[in-house]
Structure 1
Protein backbone atom coordinates (compact mmCIF):
# COMPACT_ATOMS: atom_id res chain seq x y z
CA UNK A 1 0.00 0.00 0.00
CA UNK A 2 2.86 2.38 0.78
CA UNK A 3 4.37 1.84 -2.67
CA UNK A 4 1.00 2.58 -4.27
CA UNK A 5 0.48 5.80 -2.34
CA UNK A 6 4.07 6.95 -2.85
CA UNK A 7 3.65 6.41 -6.59
CA UNK A 8 0.38 8.33 -6.73
CA UNK A 9 1.82 11.20 -4.69
CA UNK A 10 4.37 11.81 -7.45
CA UNK A 11 1.31 13.05 -9.42
CA UNK A 12 3.01 12.00 -12.67
CA UNK A 13 1.32 9.13 -14.50
CA UNK A 14 2.07 7.06 -17.57
CA UNK A 15 -1.25 5.97 -19.07
CA UNK A 16 -1.67 3.15 -21.56
CA UNK A 17 -4.71 3.14 -23.82
CA UNK A 18 -6.61 4.81 -26.56
CA UNK A 19 -7.16 8.37 -27.71
CA UNK A 20 -10.12 8.87 -30.01
CA UNK A 21 -12.62 11.42 -31.20
CA UNK A 22 -15.95 12.19 -29.57
CA UNK A 23 -18.73 13.63 -31.70
CA UNK A 24 -22.01 14.95 -30.28
CA UNK A 25 -24.93 16.97 -31.69
CA UNK A 26 -25.73 20.48 -30.55
CA UNK A 27 -27.67 21.87 -28.81
CA UNK A 28 -27.97 19.50 -25.82
CA UNK A 29 -31.03 17.31 -26.07
CA UNK A 30 -30.72 16.83 -29.83
CA UNK A 31 -31.01 13.31 -31.19
CA UNK A 32 -28.12 12.24 -33.39
CA UNK A 33 -30.46 11.54 -36.31
CA UNK A 34 -31.84 15.07 -36.02
CA UNK A 35 -28.45 16.73 -35.71
CA UNK A 36 -27.30 19.54 -37.97
CA UNK A 37 -24.40 20.91 -35.92
CA UNK A 38 -21.94 18.57 -34.20
CA UNK A 39 -19.07 19.26 -31.82
CA UNK A 40 -15.82 17.26 -31.88
CA UNK A 41 -13.75 16.62 -28.77
CA UNK A 42 -11.02 14.35 -27.43
CA UNK A 43 -12.28 10.88 -26.56
CA UNK A 44 -11.07 7.50 -25.38
CA UNK A 45 -10.98 6.48 -21.71
CA UNK A 46 -7.23 6.64 -21.24
CA UNK A 47 -6.89 9.98 -23.03
CA UNK A 48 -9.78 11.37 -21.00
CA UNK A 49 -8.18 10.25 -17.73
CA UNK A 50 -4.96 11.96 -18.77
CA UNK A 51 -6.78 15.17 -19.70
CA UNK A 52 -8.63 15.14 -16.38
CA UNK A 53 -5.42 14.64 -14.40
CA UNK A 54 -3.70 17.51 -16.21
CA UNK A 55 -6.67 19.85 -15.74
CA UNK A 56 -6.43 19.14 -12.00
CA UNK A 57 -2.74 19.98 -11.87
CA UNK A 58 -1.13 16.57 -12.35
CA UNK A 59 1.11 15.28 -15.12
CA UNK A 60 0.29 12.52 -17.57
CA UNK A 61 1.80 10.89 -20.65
CA UNK A 62 -0.13 8.61 -23.00
CA UNK A 63 1.19 5.47 -24.69
CA UNK A 64 -0.88 4.41 -27.71
CA UNK A 65 -1.17 4.29 -31.49
CA UNK A 66 -3.21 6.70 -33.60
CA UNK A 67 -4.08 6.62 -37.28
CA UNK A 68 -1.60 8.33 -39.60
CA UNK A 69 -4.16 10.79 -40.91
CA UNK A 70 -5.93 14.02 -39.99
CA UNK A 71 -8.02 12.37 -37.24
CA UNK A 72 -4.95 10.90 -35.59
CA UNK A 73 -3.27 14.30 -35.74
CA UNK A 74 -6.41 15.87 -34.27
CA UNK A 75 -6.15 13.51 -31.29
CA UNK A 76 -2.48 14.36 -30.75
CA UNK A 77 -3.26 18.08 -30.94
CA UNK A 78 -6.04 17.62 -28.38
CA UNK A 79 -3.68 15.79 -26.04
CA UNK A 80 -1.28 18.71 -26.29
CA UNK A 81 -4.14 21.15 -25.68
CA UNK A 82 -4.89 19.49 -22.34
CA UNK A 83 -1.24 19.13 -21.41
CA UNK A 84 -0.96 15.37 -21.90
CA UNK A 85 2.53 14.38 -23.07
CA UNK A 86 2.17 12.68 -26.51
CA UNK A 87 5.80 11.62 -26.98
CA UNK A 88 4.80 7.94 -26.88
CA UNK A 89 1.84 8.30 -29.23
CA UNK A 90 2.87 6.65 -32.50
CA UNK A 91 1.04 6.90 -35.85
CA UNK A 92 0.15 3.74 -37.77
CA UNK A 93 -0.68 3.73 -41.49
CA UNK A 94 -2.74 1.51 -43.73
CA UNK A 95 -6.43 1.01 -43.05
CA UNK A 96 -6.24 1.43 -39.26
CA UNK A 97 -8.43 4.23 -37.92
CA UNK A 98 -8.93 6.06 -34.66
CA UNK A 99 -11.96 5.15 -32.61
CA UNK A 100 -15.01 7.41 -32.87
CA UNK A 101 -17.79 7.76 -30.30
CA UNK A 102 -21.00 9.50 -31.40
CA UNK A 103 -23.19 10.21 -28.39
CA UNK A 104 -25.88 12.58 -27.23
CA UNK A 105 -26.10 15.17 -24.48
CA UNK A 106 -29.31 13.79 -23.01
CA UNK A 107 -30.34 11.14 -20.51
CA UNK A 108 -33.74 10.00 -21.77
CA UNK A 109 -33.38 7.59 -24.69
CA UNK A 110 -29.65 8.33 -24.77
CA UNK A 111 -27.90 6.90 -27.81
CA UNK A 112 -24.20 6.15 -28.24
CA UNK A 113 -22.70 4.66 -31.39
CA UNK A 114 -19.09 3.43 -31.24
CA UNK A 115 -16.88 2.91 -34.30
CA UNK A 116 -14.00 0.55 -33.47
CA UNK A 117 -13.38 -1.46 -36.66
CA UNK A 118 -9.67 -1.68 -37.47
CA UNK A 119 -8.84 0.40 -34.38
CA UNK A 120 -5.43 2.06 -34.54
CA UNK A 121 -4.85 1.81 -30.79
CA UNK A 122 -4.98 -2.01 -30.92
CA UNK A 123 -1.80 -1.84 -33.03
CA UNK A 124 0.29 -0.68 -30.06
CA UNK A 125 3.05 -3.27 -29.73
CA UNK A 126 5.77 -4.39 -27.36
CA UNK A 127 8.34 -2.10 -28.98
CA UNK A 128 6.07 0.87 -28.21
CA UNK A 129 5.89 0.11 -24.51
CA UNK A 130 9.57 -0.87 -24.31
CA UNK A 131 10.51 2.62 -25.53
CA UNK A 132 9.07 4.22 -22.36
CA UNK A 133 11.38 5.22 -19.51
CA UNK A 134 9.12 4.18 -16.64
CA UNK A 135 11.47 5.68 -14.07
CA UNK A 136 10.18 9.12 -15.14
CA UNK A 137 6.76 8.39 -13.65
CA UNK A 138 5.18 7.59 -10.31
CA UNK A 139 2.49 5.12 -11.39
CA UNK A 140 1.03 3.37 -14.43
CA UNK A 141 -2.68 3.60 -15.25
CA UNK A 142 -4.52 1.57 -17.83
CA UNK A 143 -8.12 0.87 -18.84
CA UNK A 144 -9.33 -2.60 -19.73
CA UNK A 145 -10.03 -1.93 -23.40
CA UNK A 146 -6.29 -2.26 -24.19
CA UNK A 147 -6.54 -6.00 -23.49
CA UNK A 148 -9.34 -6.68 -25.98
CA UNK A 149 -7.11 -7.44 -29.01
CA UNK A 150 -3.55 -8.17 -30.09
CA UNK A 151 -0.89 -6.86 -30.27
CA UNK A 152 -2.18 -4.33 -27.71
CA UNK A 153 -2.93 -7.05 -25.15
CA UNK A 154 0.57 -8.54 -25.09
CA UNK A 155 2.09 -5.06 -25.19
CA UNK A 156 0.19 -3.98 -22.08
CA UNK A 157 1.18 -7.07 -20.13
CA UNK A 158 4.77 -6.32 -21.18
CA UNK A 159 4.31 -2.74 -19.90
CA UNK A 160 3.14 -4.17 -16.56
CA UNK A 161 6.40 -6.13 -16.28
CA UNK A 162 8.53 -3.12 -17.22
CA UNK A 163 6.67 -0.82 -14.84
CA UNK A 164 7.05 -3.28 -11.96
CA UNK A 165 10.77 -3.59 -12.68
CA UNK A 166 10.98 0.21 -12.40
CA UNK A 167 9.11 0.14 -9.08
CA UNK A 168 5.82 1.61 -10.34
CA UNK A 169 2.46 0.56 -8.93
CA UNK A 170 -0.19 -0.43 -11.48
CA UNK A 171 -3.66 1.12 -11.41
CA UNK A 172 -6.38 -0.64 -13.40
CA UNK A 173 -9.73 0.76 -14.51
CA UNK A 174 -11.63 -2.37 -15.60
CA UNK A 175 -13.60 -0.45 -18.27
CA UNK A 176 -15.25 -3.51 -19.83
CA UNK A 177 -16.66 -2.70 -23.29
CA UNK A 178 -18.29 -5.85 -24.77
CA UNK A 179 -18.16 -4.58 -28.36
CA UNK A 180 -14.33 -4.62 -28.31
CA UNK A 181 -13.93 -8.26 -27.32
CA UNK A 182 -14.10 -11.48 -29.37
CA UNK A 183 -16.18 -13.17 -26.64
CA UNK A 184 -17.25 -12.70 -23.00
CA UNK A 185 -15.21 -15.77 -22.00
CA UNK A 186 -11.98 -14.31 -23.40
CA UNK A 187 -12.72 -11.00 -21.70
CA UNK A 188 -13.38 -12.64 -18.33
CA UNK A 189 -10.12 -14.60 -18.48
CA UNK A 190 -7.92 -11.74 -19.68
CA UNK A 191 -9.36 -9.04 -17.40
CA UNK A 192 -9.07 -11.36 -14.40
CA UNK A 193 -5.44 -12.06 -15.32
CA UNK A 194 -4.78 -8.32 -15.53
CA UNK A 195 -6.53 -7.55 -12.24
CA UNK A 196 -4.42 -10.15 -10.45
CA UNK A 197 -1.29 -8.13 -11.30
CA UNK A 198 -2.52 -4.71 -10.17
CA UNK A 199 -1.99 -2.67 -7.02
CA UNK A 200 -5.26 -0.75 -7.41
CA UNK A 201 -8.46 -1.70 -9.23
CA UNK A 202 -11.44 0.52 -10.02
CA UNK A 203 -14.64 -0.86 -11.54
CA UNK A 204 -18.39 -0.84 -11.28
CA UNK A 205 -20.63 -3.56 -9.90
CA UNK A 206 -21.30 -5.01 -13.35
CA UNK A 207 -17.58 -5.19 -14.20
CA UNK A 208 -16.60 -6.96 -10.99
CA UNK A 209 -19.62 -9.22 -11.42
CA UNK A 210 -18.51 -10.02 -14.94
CA UNK A 211 -15.05 -11.07 -13.73
CA UNK A 212 -16.66 -13.17 -10.98
CA UNK A 213 -19.08 -14.94 -13.34
CA UNK A 214 -22.28 -13.22 -12.11
CA UNK A 215 -23.19 -9.73 -10.93
CA UNK A 216 -24.28 -11.09 -7.55
CA UNK A 217 -20.70 -12.27 -6.98
CA UNK A 218 -19.07 -8.94 -7.88
CA UNK A 219 -18.84 -7.52 -4.37
CA UNK A 220 -17.11 -10.63 -3.06
CA UNK A 221 -14.77 -10.54 -6.08
CA UNK A 222 -13.75 -6.98 -5.24
CA UNK A 223 -13.26 -7.91 -1.60
CA UNK A 224 -11.15 -10.94 -2.57
CA UNK A 225 -8.94 -8.95 -4.93
CA UNK A 226 -8.23 -6.52 -2.11
CA UNK A 227 -7.26 -9.37 0.19
CA UNK A 228 -5.17 -11.22 -2.41
CA UNK A 229 -3.12 -8.66 -4.31
CA UNK A 230 -4.59 -5.17 -4.70
CA UNK A 231 -3.94 -2.73 -1.90
CA UNK A 232 -6.93 -0.65 -2.96
CA UNK A 233 -10.14 -1.71 -4.72
CA UNK A 234 -12.97 0.70 -5.53
CA UNK A 235 -16.35 -0.95 -6.17
CA UNK A 236 -18.65 1.61 -7.81
CA UNK A 237 -22.43 1.24 -7.66
CA UNK A 238 -23.73 4.19 -9.69
CA UNK A 239 -26.40 6.04 -7.72
CA UNK A 240 -25.53 3.82 -4.74
CA UNK A 241 -22.09 5.37 -4.33
CA UNK A 242 -18.99 3.23 -3.81
CA UNK A 243 -17.36 0.78 -1.44
CA UNK A 244 -13.58 0.97 -1.18
CA UNK A 245 -11.62 -1.98 0.18
CA UNK A 246 -8.18 -1.40 1.64
CA UNK A 247 -6.11 -3.01 4.38
CA UNK A 248 -9.10 -4.85 5.81
CA UNK A 249 -11.32 -1.75 5.87
CA UNK A 250 -14.48 -1.05 3.90
CA UNK A 251 -15.14 2.64 3.22
CA UNK A 252 -18.61 3.54 1.98
CA UNK A 253 -19.18 6.82 0.16
CA UNK A 254 -22.15 8.47 -1.50
CA UNK A 255 -22.48 10.60 -4.61
CA UNK A 256 -23.11 14.27 -5.39
CA UNK A 257 -26.57 14.43 -7.01
CA UNK A 258 -26.81 16.75 -10.03
CA UNK A 259 -29.12 17.25 -12.97
CA UNK A 260 -27.18 15.05 -15.37
CA UNK A 261 -27.03 16.06 -19.01
CA UNK A 262 -25.58 12.73 -20.18
CA UNK A 263 -24.21 9.47 -18.72
CA UNK A 264 -20.76 9.52 -20.37
CA UNK A 265 -17.39 10.54 -18.91
CA UNK A 266 -18.15 9.91 -15.23
CA UNK A 267 -15.70 7.04 -14.73
CA UNK A 268 -12.77 8.78 -16.41
CA UNK A 269 -13.35 11.95 -14.42
CA UNK A 270 -13.70 9.96 -11.18
CA UNK A 271 -10.30 8.37 -11.76
CA UNK A 272 -8.65 11.71 -12.50
CA UNK A 273 -10.16 13.32 -9.41
CA UNK A 274 -9.23 10.40 -7.16
CA UNK A 275 -5.61 10.28 -8.36
CA UNK A 276 -4.93 14.01 -8.08
CA UNK A 277 -6.70 14.30 -4.73
CA UNK A 278 -4.59 11.51 -3.23
CA UNK A 279 -1.51 13.15 -4.75
CA UNK A 280 -2.47 16.44 -3.10
CA UNK A 281 -2.50 14.78 0.33
CA UNK A 282 -6.23 14.33 0.93
CA UNK A 283 -7.19 11.24 2.91
CA UNK A 284 -8.68 8.27 1.07
CA UNK A 285 -12.36 8.91 1.85
CA UNK A 286 -12.08 12.58 0.96
CA UNK A 287 -10.27 11.70 -2.27
CA UNK A 288 -12.99 9.24 -3.27
CA UNK A 289 -15.63 11.90 -2.65
CA UNK A 290 -13.67 14.45 -4.68
CA UNK A 291 -13.51 11.91 -7.50
CA UNK A 292 -17.28 11.52 -7.22
CA UNK A 293 -17.66 15.31 -7.39
CA UNK A 294 -15.58 15.36 -10.59
CA UNK A 295 -17.86 12.71 -12.07
CA UNK A 296 -20.94 14.75 -11.15
CA UNK A 297 -19.52 17.87 -12.77
CA UNK A 298 -18.64 15.99 -15.95
CA UNK A 299 -22.06 14.41 -16.51
CA UNK A 300 -23.73 17.81 -16.09
CA UNK A 301 -21.96 19.35 -19.11
CA UNK A 302 -21.54 18.45 -22.80
CA UNK A 303 -18.51 16.41 -23.81
CA UNK A 304 -16.11 14.36 -21.69
CA UNK A 305 -12.64 15.92 -21.64
CA UNK A 306 -14.08 19.46 -22.12
CA UNK A 307 -16.53 18.89 -19.25
CA UNK A 308 -13.95 17.72 -16.73
CA UNK A 309 -13.19 20.26 -14.00
CA UNK A 310 -10.02 22.09 -13.14
CA UNK A 311 -9.23 22.75 -9.49
CA UNK A 312 -11.08 26.06 -9.35
CA UNK A 313 -14.28 24.51 -10.74
CA UNK A 314 -14.00 21.51 -8.42
CA UNK A 315 -13.50 23.64 -5.31
CA UNK A 316 -16.41 25.92 -6.26
CA UNK A 317 -18.65 22.89 -6.81
CA UNK A 318 -17.72 21.45 -3.41
CA UNK A 319 -18.37 24.82 -1.75
CA UNK A 320 -21.77 25.27 -3.42
CA UNK A 321 -23.11 21.70 -3.29
CA UNK A 322 -25.03 20.66 -0.14
CA UNK A 323 -22.92 17.51 0.03
CA UNK A 324 -22.88 13.84 -0.92
CA UNK A 325 -25.65 11.38 -0.27
CA UNK A 326 -25.39 9.13 2.75
CA UNK A 327 -23.39 5.98 2.12
Structure 2
Protein backbone atom coordinates (compact mmCIF):
# COMPACT_ATOMS: atom_id res chain seq x y z
CA UNK A 1 0.00 0.00 0.00
CA UNK A 2 1.31 3.44 -0.93
CA UNK A 3 1.76 5.90 1.90
CA UNK A 4 0.59 9.50 1.95
CA UNK A 5 4.17 10.78 1.70
CA UNK A 6 4.85 9.52 -1.83
CA UNK A 7 1.43 10.79 -2.92
CA UNK A 8 2.29 14.22 -1.57
CA UNK A 9 5.60 14.10 -3.39
CA UNK A 10 3.94 12.99 -6.65
CA UNK A 11 1.63 15.99 -6.76
CA UNK A 12 4.36 18.66 -7.21
CA UNK A 13 6.03 16.35 -9.73
CA UNK A 14 2.81 16.15 -11.77
CA UNK A 15 2.42 19.92 -11.55
CA UNK A 16 6.01 20.34 -12.69
CA UNK A 17 5.50 18.03 -15.67
CA UNK A 18 2.35 19.90 -16.59
CA UNK A 19 4.13 23.26 -16.40
CA UNK A 20 7.00 21.98 -18.53
CA UNK A 21 4.52 20.61 -21.06
CA UNK A 22 2.72 23.95 -21.38
CA UNK A 23 6.04 25.82 -21.69
CA UNK A 24 7.21 23.46 -24.44
CA UNK A 25 3.89 23.86 -26.27
CA UNK A 26 4.15 27.65 -26.01
CA UNK A 27 7.69 27.58 -27.42
CA UNK A 28 6.70 25.29 -30.29
CA UNK A 29 3.72 27.42 -31.29
CA UNK A 30 5.77 30.62 -30.98
CA UNK A 31 8.39 29.30 -33.41
CA UNK A 32 6.08 27.35 -35.72
CA UNK A 33 5.30 30.18 -38.20
CA UNK A 34 9.02 30.41 -38.96
CA UNK A 35 9.02 26.84 -40.25
CA UNK A 36 5.69 26.51 -42.10
CA UNK A 37 4.09 28.16 -45.09
CA UNK A 38 1.22 30.63 -45.14
CA UNK A 39 -1.52 28.06 -45.79
CA UNK A 40 -0.37 25.91 -42.86
CA UNK A 41 -0.23 29.00 -40.64
CA UNK A 42 -3.90 29.69 -41.39
CA UNK A 43 -4.67 26.00 -40.77
CA UNK A 44 -3.03 26.27 -37.36
CA UNK A 45 -5.12 29.39 -36.61
CA UNK A 46 -8.16 27.27 -37.44
CA UNK A 47 -6.93 24.77 -34.86
CA UNK A 48 -6.54 27.55 -32.26
CA UNK A 49 -10.10 28.72 -32.86
CA UNK A 50 -11.62 25.25 -32.71
CA UNK A 51 -9.63 24.48 -29.55
CA UNK A 52 -11.14 27.50 -27.83
CA UNK A 53 -14.60 26.61 -29.16
CA UNK A 54 -14.28 23.05 -27.81
CA UNK A 55 -12.89 24.18 -24.45
CA UNK A 56 -15.68 26.72 -24.01
CA UNK A 57 -18.19 23.93 -24.58
CA UNK A 58 -16.42 21.64 -22.14
CA UNK A 59 -17.04 24.20 -19.41
CA UNK A 60 -20.66 23.13 -19.79
CA UNK A 61 -20.36 19.42 -20.46
CA UNK A 62 -17.19 18.43 -18.63
CA UNK A 63 -17.27 20.89 -15.74
CA UNK A 64 -20.99 21.37 -15.11
CA UNK A 65 -22.48 18.26 -16.73
CA UNK A 66 -24.77 20.37 -18.98
CA UNK A 67 -25.37 18.89 -22.44
CA UNK A 68 -26.14 21.71 -24.89
CA UNK A 69 -27.02 21.28 -28.57
CA UNK A 70 -26.98 25.00 -29.32
CA UNK A 71 -23.47 26.16 -28.44
CA UNK A 72 -22.81 27.32 -32.01
CA UNK A 73 -25.33 30.12 -31.43
CA UNK A 74 -22.78 32.05 -29.37
CA UNK A 75 -19.94 31.16 -31.72
CA UNK A 76 -21.96 32.70 -34.55
CA UNK A 77 -23.04 35.71 -32.49
CA UNK A 78 -19.37 36.47 -31.84
CA UNK A 79 -18.62 36.35 -35.57
CA UNK A 80 -21.60 38.56 -36.42
CA UNK A 81 -20.69 41.05 -33.70
CA UNK A 82 -17.38 41.68 -35.48
CA UNK A 83 -18.97 41.79 -38.96
CA UNK A 84 -21.94 44.01 -38.06
CA UNK A 85 -19.82 46.50 -36.12
CA UNK A 86 -17.56 46.91 -39.13
CA UNK A 87 -20.26 47.02 -41.82
CA UNK A 88 -22.69 49.26 -39.93
CA UNK A 89 -20.41 51.39 -37.78
CA UNK A 90 -16.94 51.16 -39.30
CA UNK A 91 -15.34 49.47 -36.26
CA UNK A 92 -12.16 47.60 -37.28
CA UNK A 93 -12.28 43.81 -36.75
CA UNK A 94 -9.56 43.72 -34.12
CA UNK A 95 -11.53 46.22 -32.03
CA UNK A 96 -14.86 44.57 -32.78
CA UNK A 97 -13.45 41.42 -31.24
CA UNK A 98 -13.89 43.08 -27.83
CA UNK A 99 -17.65 43.10 -28.40
CA UNK A 100 -17.83 39.45 -29.48
CA UNK A 101 -17.87 37.87 -25.98
CA UNK A 102 -20.22 40.59 -24.70
CA UNK A 103 -22.80 39.98 -27.44
CA UNK A 104 -22.48 36.21 -27.02
CA UNK A 105 -22.86 36.47 -23.24
CA UNK A 106 -25.96 38.67 -23.53
CA UNK A 107 -27.55 36.21 -25.95
CA UNK A 108 -26.65 33.34 -23.61
CA UNK A 109 -28.16 35.11 -20.63
CA UNK A 110 -31.49 35.54 -22.43
CA UNK A 111 -31.56 31.92 -23.64
CA UNK A 112 -30.02 30.42 -20.52
CA UNK A 113 -32.44 32.16 -18.15
CA UNK A 114 -35.20 30.04 -19.68
CA UNK A 115 -33.18 26.92 -20.50
CA UNK A 116 -31.77 26.20 -17.03
CA UNK A 117 -35.30 25.76 -15.70
CA UNK A 118 -35.18 22.22 -17.10
CA UNK A 119 -32.47 19.56 -16.98
CA UNK A 120 -31.05 16.65 -18.94
CA UNK A 121 -32.36 16.03 -22.44
CA UNK A 122 -35.05 18.69 -22.00
CA UNK A 123 -32.30 21.26 -21.47
CA UNK A 124 -30.39 19.96 -24.51
CA UNK A 125 -33.45 20.14 -26.77
CA UNK A 126 -34.41 23.59 -25.50
CA UNK A 127 -30.95 24.96 -26.31
CA UNK A 128 -31.26 23.41 -29.77
CA UNK A 129 -34.66 25.03 -30.30
CA UNK A 130 -33.45 28.47 -29.24
CA UNK A 131 -30.33 28.05 -31.36
CA UNK A 132 -32.39 27.31 -34.46
CA UNK A 133 -34.62 30.27 -33.67
CA UNK A 134 -31.61 32.62 -33.66
CA UNK A 135 -30.26 30.93 -36.80
CA UNK A 136 -33.58 31.52 -38.61
CA UNK A 137 -33.61 35.15 -37.49
CA UNK A 138 -30.07 35.74 -38.80
CA UNK A 139 -30.85 33.87 -42.02
CA UNK A 140 -33.86 36.03 -42.84
CA UNK A 141 -32.80 39.48 -41.62
CA UNK A 142 -31.22 40.72 -44.86
CA UNK A 143 -31.08 44.40 -43.92
CA UNK A 144 -29.03 43.78 -40.78
CA UNK A 145 -27.22 40.43 -41.07
CA UNK A 146 -27.08 40.07 -44.85
CA UNK A 147 -29.32 37.01 -44.70
CA UNK A 148 -28.01 33.89 -46.40
CA UNK A 149 -25.38 36.00 -48.20
CA UNK A 150 -23.67 36.76 -44.91
CA UNK A 151 -21.61 39.83 -44.16
CA UNK A 152 -18.07 40.43 -45.48
CA UNK A 153 -15.27 41.40 -43.14
CA UNK A 154 -12.61 43.68 -44.62
CA UNK A 155 -9.25 43.35 -42.89
CA UNK A 156 -6.57 45.99 -42.34
CA UNK A 157 -3.26 45.26 -44.02
CA UNK A 158 -1.56 43.92 -40.89
CA UNK A 159 -4.31 41.30 -40.38
CA UNK A 160 -3.94 40.02 -43.95
CA UNK A 161 -0.50 38.64 -43.08
CA UNK A 162 -0.72 34.98 -42.09
CA UNK A 163 2.07 35.37 -39.54
CA UNK A 164 0.54 38.47 -37.95
CA UNK A 165 -2.89 36.90 -37.63
CA UNK A 166 -1.31 33.71 -36.31
CA UNK A 167 0.36 35.54 -33.42
CA UNK A 168 -2.71 37.71 -32.83
CA UNK A 169 -4.88 34.59 -32.50
CA UNK A 170 -2.28 32.71 -30.48
CA UNK A 171 -2.11 35.41 -27.81
CA UNK A 172 -5.90 35.73 -27.52
CA UNK A 173 -6.55 31.98 -27.45
CA UNK A 174 -3.73 31.35 -24.96
CA UNK A 175 -5.15 34.05 -22.66
CA UNK A 176 -8.64 32.55 -22.93
CA UNK A 177 -7.37 29.03 -22.20
CA UNK A 178 -5.57 30.34 -19.12
CA UNK A 179 -8.78 32.07 -18.00
CA UNK A 180 -10.77 28.86 -18.53
CA UNK A 181 -8.21 27.02 -16.43
CA UNK A 182 -8.59 29.59 -13.65
CA UNK A 183 -12.38 29.22 -13.83
CA UNK A 184 -12.17 25.42 -13.46
CA UNK A 185 -9.88 25.74 -10.41
CA UNK A 186 -11.88 28.51 -8.74
CA UNK A 187 -14.58 27.98 -6.08
CA UNK A 188 -17.08 28.59 -8.90
CA UNK A 189 -15.56 25.71 -10.88
CA UNK A 190 -15.59 23.44 -7.84
CA UNK A 191 -19.28 24.25 -7.30
CA UNK A 192 -20.02 23.35 -10.92
CA UNK A 193 -18.24 20.04 -10.38
CA UNK A 194 -20.45 19.36 -7.39
CA UNK A 195 -23.55 20.04 -9.50
CA UNK A 196 -22.24 17.73 -12.22
CA UNK A 197 -21.61 14.90 -9.76
CA UNK A 198 -24.88 15.15 -7.84
CA UNK A 199 -27.31 17.96 -8.57
CA UNK A 200 -29.63 17.16 -5.67
CA UNK A 201 -26.84 16.96 -3.11
CA UNK A 202 -25.42 20.27 -4.37
CA UNK A 203 -28.80 21.88 -3.73
CA UNK A 204 -29.03 20.30 -0.26
CA UNK A 205 -25.69 21.79 0.83
CA UNK A 206 -26.89 25.26 -0.09
CA UNK A 207 -25.66 25.83 -3.64
CA UNK A 208 -27.94 27.89 -5.86
CA UNK A 209 -27.95 25.35 -8.69
CA UNK A 210 -29.91 27.27 -11.31
CA UNK A 211 -27.96 30.48 -10.73
CA UNK A 212 -24.62 28.67 -11.02
CA UNK A 213 -25.76 26.83 -14.15
CA UNK A 214 -26.85 30.11 -15.71
CA UNK A 215 -23.49 31.66 -14.87
CA UNK A 216 -21.68 28.68 -16.41
CA UNK A 217 -23.86 28.98 -19.51
CA UNK A 218 -23.01 32.68 -19.91
CA UNK A 219 -19.27 32.25 -19.24
CA UNK A 220 -19.00 29.36 -21.71
CA UNK A 221 -20.89 31.40 -24.31
CA UNK A 222 -18.54 34.37 -23.84
CA UNK A 223 -15.51 32.21 -24.67
CA UNK A 224 -17.36 30.74 -27.66
CA UNK A 225 -18.02 34.31 -28.76
CA UNK A 226 -14.29 35.04 -28.73
CA UNK A 227 -13.73 31.97 -30.94
CA UNK A 228 -16.42 33.19 -33.34
CA UNK A 229 -14.95 36.67 -33.28
CA UNK A 230 -11.64 35.22 -34.46
CA UNK A 231 -13.39 33.09 -37.11
CA UNK A 232 -14.94 36.04 -38.96
CA UNK A 233 -11.61 37.76 -39.83
CA UNK A 234 -10.02 34.39 -40.68
CA UNK A 235 -12.68 33.67 -43.32
CA UNK A 236 -13.31 37.39 -43.99
CA UNK A 237 -16.99 36.62 -43.67
CA UNK A 238 -19.74 35.97 -41.12
CA UNK A 239 -22.41 33.64 -42.47
CA UNK A 240 -25.51 31.96 -40.98
CA UNK A 241 -24.01 28.47 -41.08
CA UNK A 242 -21.89 29.41 -38.08
CA UNK A 243 -25.07 29.34 -35.96
CA UNK A 244 -26.64 26.23 -37.44
CA UNK A 245 -27.30 23.05 -35.42
CA UNK A 246 -24.71 21.15 -37.47
CA UNK A 247 -22.02 23.57 -36.25
CA UNK A 248 -23.03 22.78 -32.67
CA UNK A 249 -22.04 19.15 -33.25
CA UNK A 250 -18.38 20.13 -33.71
CA UNK A 251 -17.54 21.01 -30.06
CA UNK A 252 -19.50 18.00 -28.82
CA UNK A 253 -17.51 15.63 -31.02
CA UNK A 254 -14.19 17.32 -30.23
CA UNK A 255 -14.77 17.22 -26.48
CA UNK A 256 -15.83 13.57 -26.55
CA UNK A 257 -12.91 12.56 -28.76
CA UNK A 258 -10.31 14.20 -26.55
CA UNK A 259 -11.97 13.45 -23.21
CA UNK A 260 -14.44 15.63 -21.32
CA UNK A 261 -12.86 14.87 -17.94
CA UNK A 262 -9.46 16.22 -18.96
CA UNK A 263 -8.58 19.90 -19.29
CA UNK A 264 -6.50 19.37 -22.44
CA UNK A 265 -8.88 16.74 -23.86
CA UNK A 266 -10.86 19.22 -26.02
CA UNK A 267 -7.59 20.60 -27.44
CA UNK A 268 -6.55 17.10 -28.52
CA UNK A 269 -10.03 16.56 -29.97
CA UNK A 270 -9.77 19.86 -31.86
CA UNK A 271 -6.41 18.83 -33.31
CA UNK A 272 -7.92 15.53 -34.45
CA UNK A 273 -10.92 17.34 -35.96
CA UNK A 274 -9.05 20.10 -37.80
CA UNK A 275 -6.17 18.08 -39.19
CA UNK A 276 -8.30 15.05 -40.05
CA UNK A 277 -10.73 17.32 -41.84
CA UNK A 278 -7.84 18.93 -43.74
CA UNK A 279 -6.34 15.58 -44.68
CA UNK A 280 -9.55 14.00 -45.96
CA UNK A 281 -11.24 17.02 -47.59
CA UNK A 282 -9.42 16.48 -50.87
CA UNK A 283 -10.22 12.74 -50.90
CA UNK A 284 -13.77 12.44 -49.52
CA UNK A 285 -16.93 14.38 -50.22
CA UNK A 286 -18.08 14.22 -46.58
CA UNK A 287 -15.07 14.78 -44.28
CA UNK A 288 -17.32 15.13 -41.22
CA UNK A 289 -18.47 11.56 -41.82
CA UNK A 290 -14.86 10.40 -41.47
CA UNK A 291 -14.39 12.35 -38.26
CA UNK A 292 -17.71 11.09 -36.93
CA UNK A 293 -16.57 7.52 -37.58
CA UNK A 294 -13.34 8.20 -35.70
CA UNK A 295 -15.27 9.61 -32.75
CA UNK A 296 -17.55 6.56 -32.79
CA UNK A 297 -14.54 4.26 -32.60
CA UNK A 298 -13.02 6.36 -29.82
CA UNK A 299 -16.25 6.30 -27.79
CA UNK A 300 -16.54 2.52 -28.23
CA UNK A 301 -12.94 1.59 -27.50
CA UNK A 302 -11.67 4.65 -25.58
CA UNK A 303 -14.74 5.65 -23.53
CA UNK A 304 -12.81 8.28 -21.55
CA UNK A 305 -11.53 9.92 -24.73
CA UNK A 306 -7.94 9.91 -25.96
CA UNK A 307 -6.43 11.88 -23.08
CA UNK A 308 -8.65 10.35 -20.40
CA UNK A 309 -7.84 6.78 -21.48
CA UNK A 310 -4.10 7.45 -21.62
CA UNK A 311 -4.22 9.02 -18.16
CA UNK A 312 -6.20 6.11 -16.70
CA UNK A 313 -3.79 3.56 -18.14
CA UNK A 314 -0.83 5.53 -16.80
CA UNK A 315 -2.40 5.63 -13.34
CA UNK A 316 -3.10 1.89 -13.43
CA UNK A 317 0.51 1.25 -14.44
CA UNK A 318 1.79 3.48 -11.63
CA UNK A 319 -0.21 1.55 -9.04
CA UNK A 320 1.24 -1.81 -10.05
What TM-score, normalized by structure 1, do the two folds share? 0.29
Bigger fraction of residues in strand: 1
With CA pairs under 8 Å and 6+ residues apart, which has the higher RCO, 1 or 2?
Answer: 2
What TM-score, normalized by structure 2, do the two folds share? 0.29
**Greater C-alpha Rg:** 2
Bigger fraction of residues in helix: 2
